[in-house]
Amino acid sequence: MTLPRDKEEPEKRPVASSTASAPERTPEPDETWAIPTPGSTPLSKVRDKHPTDLPNCSKGNSSMRVPALFDAPTGPARSQTHRDPDAHELMSWCTWNSRRGDEITVSWKRYGSHPEKGTGAEQAKTYYEGFFSPSSGRREDVGVGEEALWVADDGTDASCLLDVRDVNLVVIVGVSGRAHPSGKCEELTTDLAGDALSAVPS
C-alpha cells in the first residue's frame, strides 16, 4: 500500500519495517480545493491538542482492534524516528498483514506550533487538504476527529482509505485485500481510525 503525499505526483506509502524511513514531503493544496474548517475559531488561534509523542507498533498493537487473522504489526521501533530539524513534525506508522494477503496500514503525523510555520492545527490542515480533490475525495462526518475525508483513485491498492484530522494530528488508515472490498471495509476503517486516535499518548 502507498501513502500519497502529493496530488499531482503521488508517492508510494512507506513499506513498514524496522529500517524503513518515512517521506518528509508536504503536499501543496490547490487553493480552489480548500476544505471548510469545522468550528468558528481560526486555526491560527487553536492550541496544540496532541503531545509530542506518537504510538509505536507495540502500543498500536495493544490499542488497535484489528481482525484476528492479521499478524502483529511492523513499523518503526520508535515513534519519534521521523522528525524535521526543528522537531515540530513527527510521524509514525504500523502495518498489519494477513496470510490471505489483506493489509491494514495506519499512520500518524503530528505537527507542533512553530513561529514561522504556524500553529500545529494550521500545518495539519494544509497537509490534510493536500489529499483532497473534487474528483477523488469525499468529505464525511464519521464521528472521528474534527474532520474526515475518504480518498479514492489515489494510485494505491487500498479498498478504503480514510484521512482524519484532529487539531494538530492527521491519521491515515488504509485497508486492502479481497476480504475487505470497497463497500464493505468502511466500518472497519472508521473503527481503526478511532482506535488510532485513542492510541496517541495523552
Q: What is the pLDDT of residues 38-85, one digit of tens each?
A: 777 889 999 999 987 888 887 667 788 999 889 888 886 555 555 555
pLDDT digits (tens, 9 = 90+) for 88-121: 788 888 999 999 999 999 999 999 998 888 999 9
Mean pLDDT of the chain: 78
**What is this structure's pTM?**
0.78
15: confidence class by pLDDT, cuts 50, 70, 90? very low
DSSP states of 153-174: SSSS--SEEEEEEETTEEEEEE
Residue 33 and residue 134 in contact, taking contact as beta carbons nearer than 8 Å = yes
Query: Which amino acid, residue 90?
Result: L
pLDDT digits (tens, 9 = 90+) for 166-197: 999 999 999 999 999 999 999 999 999 999 99
Q: Which CATH number fits domain 48-198: 1.10.150, 3.40.1000, 2.40.10, 2.30.30?
A: 3.40.1000
Query: Which amino acid, residue 13?
Result: R
